Amino acid sequence: MPTVTNNYTYADRLAAMRETKVRHTLEKRKQNGFTDLDDFGTVPISEGYSVEPLYNSTNGSFYGYDGMCENFCRVIDAHEPYIDPNEMLCGRWRDMLVNYRGDPHYLPDWLKKNPKTMELMKSATNQWSKRWDEQRFPYDHLKPLQAKYNIATGIDGDAHFACDYRIGFELGFGGFLEKIEKYRKINPDKKDFYDAEERTVKAIIRFVERHCEKLREMIAAEENAAVKENLETMLKTCENITYDAPKTFREVCQWTAFFNCASRIYTRDGAGFQLDGLLWPYYQNDVKAGILDDETAKFLIANLLLIDPHYYQISGVDENDVDRTNHLSYLILEAADSINIACNLTVRVHKNCDREFQRKCVYYLIKNKNAWPRFCNDKSLAEGYMRNGDIDKKTARERIAVGCNWMCVPGKEFPMNDTVKINIAKVLDESLKDMKNEENKSSARLFEIYESHLKKAIEVTAEGINLHIDHAWEVTPELVMNLMMHNTIERGEDISQCAELYTVGIDGAGLAVVADSFGAIESRIENEGLVSWETLYENLENDFADERVRAIMSSAPKYCQGGTVSDAWAQKLTDSWVAAIKAQKMPEGRKLIPGWFSWSRTIEYGSKVGATPNGRKATTPISHGANPNAHFRTDGAPTAQSNGIASVQCGYGNTAPLQIEFDPMVKADDEGIDLVLNLILGHFEQGGTLININVLDKEKILKANENPDLYPDLVVRVTGFTAYFASLSPQFRQLVVDRFLTGI
């Protein structure tokens, strides 16, 4: 149990909460091993914690309404209440349902040591992921091409869309039950759906009630008057929202905290909402009523950010181009500054938005060097999304930043964003193999073959997407998130069946590897004659045994250097990528949206790709998202990288993020703020969509890479997500270091 600070001031309590968070991070690393994933709001597994899952399939997993509901209840019921007397809000999560579905990607070390659970998860089938029920919905006919092109299929994906929290704020947990009962009578043939949803809500209510019980025990034993008063207020808040809808700012923050814990446990859902928009009326009402001041509001927001680092958007404009920035927007920044942990706040930028607010955002980015906030471009995102047809400006503006690289219309869209990816470096690899025995080799011919393979990769990816959408409700129905989606409870259908928008994202990975490879071929072989095709193929097969040849190819002009042959190829590859995806026909109003993003798969994807013409060695990591290859330029690199990535945006509302790690060698003063803000605005003026910035101290990051325990509180934005540097594997720490740039 965390220690109560002596003075019990807000500042002292926040410092103690942050210290507890850092301590928990190190404890979780011991329990879980290295985790190359988001920083979650989890606390360490307590002694004696145990879940015995119920498997309803010989696959060594569980599926459908009964399997998902029963096991969610078992996992959340095993969660002890978490109450820190320093905090104003309570609740944490420790464990997630996916841990028990036989997927080794997420399996923590502490669970691997449980022989009974590991035995239960043994599979009776040879399948790729036990999160998908291959016995009922096999896709063996797709696997050869999925493997050939190293595709992240999206089959078995979960969450990666966004709830409309307004529904929950209006109804509360008790209102969910009433709504379920109402529509159960209207749709009697959907009994299984409503039974599962009802049990899910009641399990969440039990989670809240256990916190009430624990608070009563703590109040009875507490002797400190100030602490006791805080606990009593926490209890009253929890009692008020156990069934009823939240009415105050404190209550809506606590309700959100409990729901977020439940949705994380269920399918790792981390999508938040427009934080300064939905909380604004509660703030206004409480201030007017005299029951809330700004310092308390900031503490509550900081507490909410601590409980779980969901992705929230702030600022932006409405459908009439009116600035949405308000006083609460500023308080959110100050709250994040006061706790200064891994915060997933995205600032939406538009020319009509408060420029002073944007400056304040950059100030905290430079001051804290903890990778928050990040920035997205309203113009490119909204106008791009409207190009998908039958989408109005209001809907496009509602599509907010709530994930690593992705946007979503809360409550209405089923986008599968960040779950579907094609490794175009692998597509190039296959194309090179096909051209090897042709007599007339050329970059133009290679590109023809590449486009042929890309078309096949997109076709098989689309088949997998359709399989997933058709059967997701039978495999992983989204019982928690369904509660705050449009049409789900009303129709008795999972969101995968009744979404208003099926705008499904497909990300390409490895752009710089492919662009630099084509550029090296054109410049070194075709234009300069420094290397022959025969010599290139020899070195691709022997992994560049001839270092001289590798040096020639790797020193060719690169993508993002500015105006190079590889920059031209990057744009050509983007045009090809976009055209091929938009040409792919989809059924039932489904649409594919292209983007560039690799998430944290650069190591995994690289391991499947042989040596490439840009001098990259076989099985080494591919480039990250739309980013250039590491060490692409030594002078003016941040600006050049910004310009290059702006030129390869896909134009339909999904992102090709500018991911940048650098020491700008500036201070958090007017001059430094202007320099960084101008970089951001300049990128957006050129059409950029999303910027993830790590402002880092070069000496500190290098020392932390050697010994991460020196800086246990160092936070970095690995891709779109933030994580404590100390929790990352050595390979991922090195990826961040390799991307590091100096200057601006």
pLDDT, one tens digit per residue, over 430-452 is 999 999 999 999 999 999 999 99
Would you mind telling me the total number of residues written for the chain in this entry?
Answer: 744
The dihedrals phi and psi of 663, each to the nearest 5 degrees, come to: -105, 100
Residue 43 placed within a domain? no
Q: Is residue 121 within 8 Å of residue 130, measured between CB atoms?
A: yes
Distance CA 282, CA 288 (A): 10
The H or E element spanning position 195 is helix 191-221
654 in the same domain as 596 = no
pLDDT for residue 2: 74
b/e code 167-192 from CB counts within 10 Å (16+ = b): bbbebbbebbbebbeebbeeeeebee
Residue 447 placed within a domain? yes
437 in the same domain as 565 = yes
Among the listed residues 572, 563, 721, 648, the one whose alpha carbon sits nearest the alpha carbon of residue 380: 648
Please calculate the CA angle 727-728-732 and round it to the nearest 5 degrees: 170
Domain count along the chain: 2
What residue type is 702 in one-letter code?
L
H-assigned helices in 585-650 = 602-606, 637-646
564 in the same domain as 478 = yes
736 in the same domain as 693 = yes
392 in the same domain as 323 = yes
577 in the same domain as 429 = yes
Residue 236 placed within a domain? no
Q: Read off the tokens for 276.
A: 């300064």
Distance CA 695, CA 365 (A): 7
Among the listed residues 636, 446, 644, the one whose alpha carbon sits nearest the alpha carbon of residue 564: 644
What is the model's pTM?
A: 0.96
Residue 544 placed within a domain? yes
514 in the same domain as 437 = yes
Residue 178 placed within a domain? no
Residue 315: alpha-carbon gap to chain centroid: 20
Domain end position, chosen among 596, 626, 656: 626
445 in the same domain as 376 = no
Helix (H, G, I), strand (E, B) or coil at 190: helix
Residue 181 placed within a domain? no
pLDDT for residue 737: 85
Place of tokens 């600035």: 323
pLDDT for residue 128: 58
pLDDT for residue 742: 60
559 in the same domain as 455 = yes
Residue 4 placed within a domain? no
Q: Count CB neighbours of 514 within 10 A.
A: 31
602 in the same domain as 472 = yes
Ranges of residues in the chain whose predicted pLDDT is under 70: 1, 104-106, 123-128, 741-744
pLDDT for residue 126: 54
637 in the same domain as 622 = no
Q: Is residue 645 within 8 Å of residue 688, measured between CB atoms?
A: yes
Helix (H, G, I), strand (E, B) or coil at 504: strand
Residue 195, CB half-sphere, CA atoms under 13 Å: how many? Answer: 11
**DSSP letter string over 403-422?**
SSS-EE-TTTB---TTSEEE
For residue 662, the cross-strand partners are: 695, 741
The H or E element spanning position 663 is strand 658-663
Domain end position, chosen among 595, 626, 657: 626
Angstrom CA distances, 606 to 31, 612, 661, stand at 29, 10, 21
Contacts of 80 (CB under 8 A, 6+ apart): 46, 49, 210
Q: How far apart are the first and last CA of the chain?
A: 45
For β-strands 271-274 and 311-315, DSSP reports them as parallel
Residue 512 placed within a domain? yes
Parent domain of 296: 271-401+633-744
Distance CA 315, CA 329 (A): 7
Walk across the sheet containing 420-423 and list its strands.
Answer: 151-153, 420-423, 503-509, 591-596
Domain end position, chosen among 585, 603, 626: 626
543 in the same domain as 442 = yes
Angstrom CA distances, 103 to 127, 327, 728, stand at 11, 44, 19
Q: Count CB neighbours of 696 within 10 A.
A: 24
